[in-house]
Structure 1
Amino acid sequence: MGIIDAHHHVWDLSVRDQDWITGPQLAPLRRDFPLSDLEPQARAASVDRTILVQTITVPEETPELLALAAESDLVAGVVGWIDLTASDVAEKLGRLRALPGGEWLRGIRHQVQGEPDPWWLTRPEVLRGLRTVADAELVYEVVALPHQLPAAVSAARHLPELTFVLDHLGKPPIVSGQLKPWSAAVRELASQPNTVCKLSGMVTEADWHEWTVDALRPYADTVLDAFGPQRLMFGSDWPVCTLAAGYAEVVDATGVLLAGLSPDEQAAVWTDTAERVYGADRPNQCRIRRVSPRGDASLD
């Protein structure tokens, strides 16, 4: 089977504004990015399945993404948003799963990177919501800045039954070339057996105009060593990646970064990990609970 792109977005500004797209640097993103734009680029890059990820913290978006999954043979899973601090998280998840495409709900994400409290993930009401996500056999995706990763470590320890998926390597400071303290934080997270990482978002953490594969390599090598290929998966972060690179460029750069791995290890990053974590080949069976540092998965 082909590559799984474990992280991309779509949006239609006539349906809903993306209020995070502000300022001249992000101006190229201030247009519609429909699934029909992605599909030919994905197919050309041998990507045959994708995971569609939320972009804004409003409840109306997730049903729209699920409806897209119901109509598409490209989208194999959706990571949506709900208010984790609400008292009726279980009911909200149940309603989402009853919608058209609800069987493709695979996980929940909240933009922790925008929270002023670096320990937001450890708040009692958040942990209660995350426990309900685990009970629903969904994963939780962490989009956080390096200084927020210790809270993710604490939450992962507190909820060993929940799989935590780290987006974009935890947003390391690639543009500056620094590894610490990010590397220590990401290794601590990787030491928790219920964590997985996406090899995604690197080009936009680097210099958008002058990035090189060599600039990305220390960060990719860090997560490869920390998580192992069996707990790492490819994501394009399209269309955000287009600020620095086209879709094919991101795929090609990832291929160069993985070139030193064995065929089985490369297959893990390109396909197998995402297939296992998201159940990307079958509806409503996202059942991974723990992945050991060796990559062994225990399933419910």
Structure 2
Amino acid sequence: MIFDTHLHLIDLSALRYPWLSGVPALNRDFSHDDYAVQARRVGIEGAFHMEVDVDPADIEAETGHVKALSHRKDSLLRGAIASCRPEEPSFAAYLEAQRADPFVKGFRRVLHVMPDELSEGALFRENIKRLAGTGLTFDLVVLPHQIPKAIALADLSPDVQFVLDHCGVPDIKGGSEHPWREHMAEIARRPNVTAKISGVVAYADAGSWTVDTLRPYVEHTIGCFGWDRVVWGSDWPVCTLGGGLATWVAATHTLLEGVSADERTRLLSANAKRLWNF
């Protein structure tokens, strides 16, 4: 069975997503029901909702919206990685409010489309340190050249558990492995960072990628982090840009051919259950 640590849901009638105007293929509703039909067919047993960079005024509404969906009969939703703004003074109060909600499992601040210096701000870094001891994780979504910024955050907050999204967002379409490859090896030396095997099909050429296109990036990530510090995510519906959910799951199984049953289980579900204690 598979646990999906990276599901996005889009409801244009309930929330505002300013960035979607620039991505026409995703600028529509992607519902839990649509996802659930596909997910159950490929063996996904549950999922965490990953924030979708909604309008800042809708951040708390997004979490509430997803939590309400989790209460429905047969919902696959088991928790949420909520959006946050560590660069703002209001973060401390926001964190305390979210800590009271067991549905919230962690946070993410989108960084790969933001100026590099955002994560270098003193307030941002101090607020990330507040996560220590809370059991809440912080997802890092950064471009290859920004991985050193993520390393700095991990070093400054050694008691915070970080999750590096999408194998570090390699430029698979461009066939570029450097400096991504070196940076991945370096960030993996931080024991408080786990890597997420997700998103890679969206970074490949949608019309021509094969499993062997993805293999160097996925295998290098797992090789750097080891089988105890990797989790799996669908990145649905972003994965539809590279073939869709069933295609990504099939590619994952092919990439795992030859590994032990224990290693497969750790990546697909056991590590997530241990990391988020559910």
The TM-score with structure 1 as length reference comes to: 0.87
CA deviation after TM superposition for structure 1 residue 186, in Å = 1.2
Cα distance between partner residues in 1 of 2:71 and 2:103: 8
Cα distance between partner residues in 2 of 1:129 and 1:65: 25
Contact persistence 2:135–2:276 (CA under 8 A)? no
What is aligned with 2:14? 15
For residue 148 of structure 2, what is the amino acid of its counterpart? P
Equivalent residue for 2:197, pick from 196, 199, 204: 199
Closer, same or farther: CA 52–164 of 1 in aligned 2, 3 Å:
same
Query: Does residue 32 of structure 1 match 2:29?
Result: yes
Equivalent residue for 2:177, pick from 179, 182, 186: 179
What is aligned with 1:76? 78
The DSSP-based 3-state class of the residue aligned with 1:52 is: strand
- Residues 208-287 of structure 1: pairs in structure 2 closer than 5 A: 208-279=206-277, 281=278
Query: Does residue 122 of structure 1 match 2:103?
Result: no
Closer, same or farther: CA 206–255 of 1 in aligned 2, 3 Å:
same
Closer, same or farther: CA 69–122 of 1 in aligned 2, 3 Å:
farther
Cα distance between partner residues in 1 of 2:130 and 2:222: 30
Contact persistence 1:108–1:139 (CA under 8 A)? yes
Residues 261-270 or 126-135, more deviating: 126-135
Residues 118-127 or 104-113, more deviating: 118-127
For residue 67 of structure 1, what is the amino acid of its counterpart? A
The DSSP-based 3-state class of the residue aligned with 1:113 is: coil
The DSSP-based 3-state class of the residue aligned with 1:233 is: strand
Contact persistence 1:119–1:148 (CA under 8 A)? no
The DSSP-based 3-state class of the residue aligned with 2:258 is: coil
Residues 10-19 or 230-239, more deviating: 10-19
Cα distance between partner residues in 2 of 1:173 and 1:68: 34
Closer, same or farther: CA 50–216 of 1 in aligned 2, 3 Å:
same
CA deviation after TM superposition for structure 1 residue 40, in Å = 1.2
CA deviation after TM superposition for structure 1 residue 97, in Å = 4.5
Contact persistence 2:87–2:121 (CA under 8 A)? no
Percent identical? 35
Size of the alignment, in residue pairs?
273
- Residues 133-172 of structure 1: pairs in structure 2 closer than 5 A: 133-172=131-170
The DSSP-based 3-state class of the residue aligned with 1:121 is: helix
Cα distance between partner residues in 2 of 1:158 and 1:49: 33
Q: Which runs of 5+ in 1 are unaligned?
A: 282-300
CA distances 1:209-265 after superposition (whole Å, capped 9, x unpaired): 211110000001110110012111111100111112121111010111111211111
Cα distance between partner residues in 1 of 2:241 and 2:71: 29
The TM-score with structure 2 as length reference comes to: 0.93
The DSSP-based 3-state class of the residue aligned with 2:259 is: coil
Cα distance between partner residues in 1 of 2:207 and 2:16: 27
Cα distance between partner residues in 2 of 1:11 and 1:176: 29
CA deviation after TM superposition for structure 1 residue 81, in Å = 1.1
Contact persistence 2:81–2:105 (CA under 8 A)? yes
CA deviation after TM superposition for structure 1 residue 151, in Å = 0.9
Q: Which runs of 5+ in 2 are unaligned?
A: none
Contact persistence 2:195–2:231 (CA under 8 A)? yes
For residue 91 of structure 1, what is the amino acid of its counterpart? A
Cα distance between partner residues in 2 of 1:137 and 1:75: 19
Contact persistence 2:230–2:271 (CA under 8 A)? yes
CA distances 1:128-167 after superposition (whole Å, capped 9, x unpaired): 1111122422000001111111011011011110011001
Contact persistence 2:84–2:107 (CA under 8 A)? yes
CA deviation after TM superposition for structure 1 residue 61, in Å = 1.9
For residue 68 of structure 1, what is the amino acid of its counterpart? L
CA deviation after TM superposition for structure 1 residue 73, in Å = 3.8
Query: Does residue 65 of structure 1 match 2:63?
Result: no
Query: RMSD of the TM alignment (CA)?
Result: 1.5
Residues 269-278 or 131-140, more deviating: 131-140
What is aligned with 2:92? 90
What is aligned with 1:296? none
What is aligned with 1:110? 109
What is aligned with 1:45? 42
